[in-house]
Amino acid sequence: MQDEEHIQTIVSAIHVPLNLLSLPGLTNVQRLHELGVKRFSFGNAFSDQVIAHMEACSAALFAAQDTAILYK
pTM value is 0.68
Instruction: Kindly give, in sequence order, each residue whose CB lies less than 8 Å from that of residue 26, ignoring residues fewer than 6 positions away.
Output: 1, 2, 20, 32
| pLDDT tens-place string over residues 5-44 | 999 999 999 999 999 999 998 999 999 999 999 999 999 9
Burial class (CB in 10 A: 0-12, 13-18, 19+), 32: buried
Beta strand 39-41 with 19-21: parallel, antiparallel or unpaired?
parallel
Nearest to 26 by CA among 2, 8, 7, 10: 2
- For residue 56, give the H/E element and its range: helix 45-64
